[in-house]
Amino acid sequence: MAVNMALARADDLKPGSRKIAFIDGRSVVLFNIDGAIHAIDNSCPHNGASLANGRLDGHVLQCPAHGLRFDLASGCAVGAPGLCLTKLPVEAIDGELVTPRVD
């Protein structure tokens, strides 16, 4: 059975902003890019570095540790499609940004 896990209040994530949330001890970063919400694990798939403070250029996030660039729309590294972020599905329900947790 899927249970929705709250990540943040929708009105706390304005366009152009980002926010760290935690689900069962797991760090997740939320991005609002022109009204589209993206949620990813706060861990670079290359070496585990935090992505929360990575440079954002449009919808491309650059890892602050080694410079790898990820397209938040696809989740994959630019130029290396086999290296992808862990993305979480997000939807707004009653003013909350939620993601399903499968038990």
Rounded CA separation 29/16 (Å) = 13
Predicted TM-score (pTM) of the model is: 0.90
Mean pLDDT of the residues in the chain: 93
The whole-number average pLDDT for the span 22-41 is: 95
Distance of CA 51 to the CA centre of its chain: 9
Residue 24 has pLDDT above 90, yes or no: no
DSSP state at residue 78? T
pLDDT digits (tens, 9 = 90+) for 37-86: 999 999 999 889 999 999 999 999 999 999 999 999 999 999 987 899 99
The DSSP line for 20-57 is EEEETTEEEEEEEETTEEEEEESS-TTT----TT-EEE
Would you say 38 and 51 are in contact if contact means Cβ atoms under 8 Å apart?
A: no
Q: Spelled out in words, what is the top-level CATH class assigned to the domain 2-102?
A: mainly beta
Q: For the chain, give every domain's residue range.
A: 2-102
DSSP state at residue 64? T
Per-residue pLDDT band at 102 (split at 50, 70, 90): low
Q: Which residue reads 């329900």 in tokens?
A: 93
Closest CA to 36 of 18, 62, 48, 63: 18
| Tokens standing for residue 78 | 């630019």
